[in-house]
Structure 1
């Protein structure tokens, strides 16, 4: 009996430690949609966003002035959409095509599919890659930068073909 109680305590402690980590892997309920946060950066700062990653309770967004100049990493509050801080960043990655959809438009297109919460969005030539987390499971989407069509989906939360 004592050994059984010890195991139960250990499991309870493990779940108490793991639960906050799992909860912080995606924005909390009531957070602004990623599309709104990205649109604010695109409009306010006139920057091209080419990645957004939800980590440690905030959005880490990489944005550059047109042509890949003046890049910075921006820490954004998911609840308010306000910039907390920013720092200069090298632009070693390829920027999205100038005739393509913006990051906010790609995010809005994915949000409209109701697959779950976007936790990562990154332009990786020749497509946008998005990690989506519903209540259970996950999906990685490969999205065309011009049409915003999902070209491929990998994971347990992928919609049935034809959706």
Structure 2
């Protein structure tokens, strides 16, 4: 994974969105992205709220970012990723889907990983599970850098 130079957390209606990015070094083993008028390619981590009204548009945004030469790691719960349409073939080398299992939440039925999986009166339970992903998500970022995790076009170096 590329070095993560910046990380932003933003809340919208109590929902936490996390974005982290870093310049991607170019080299012979990297996927050749188109030229950037704004500078080097970035590695962007996208982690949308657990509702398909958020997941699908953020996947589309990820594809647009990849078309502009950036690398995207798209994080969601495993069953949510399985329900998505395939990533567009022309950007598939620049988008990586990463499953992050939801923690157990009292009252949240097994397999419920999005707001579509729970009745309206239990919509608070996915919110609790999403909030409880803060530490596992931070660990994912730290481990990805510590392990030098890489995919085609993704850097193996991370800075502290």
Give the TM-score of the pair, scaled to structure 1. 0.28
Normalized per residue, the structure richer in helix is: 2
Where relative contact order (Cα < 8 A, 6+ residues apart) is larger, the structure is: 2
Normalized per residue, the structure richer in strand is: 1
Give the TM-score of the pair, scaled to structure 2. 0.28
Which structure: larger Rg?
Answer: 1
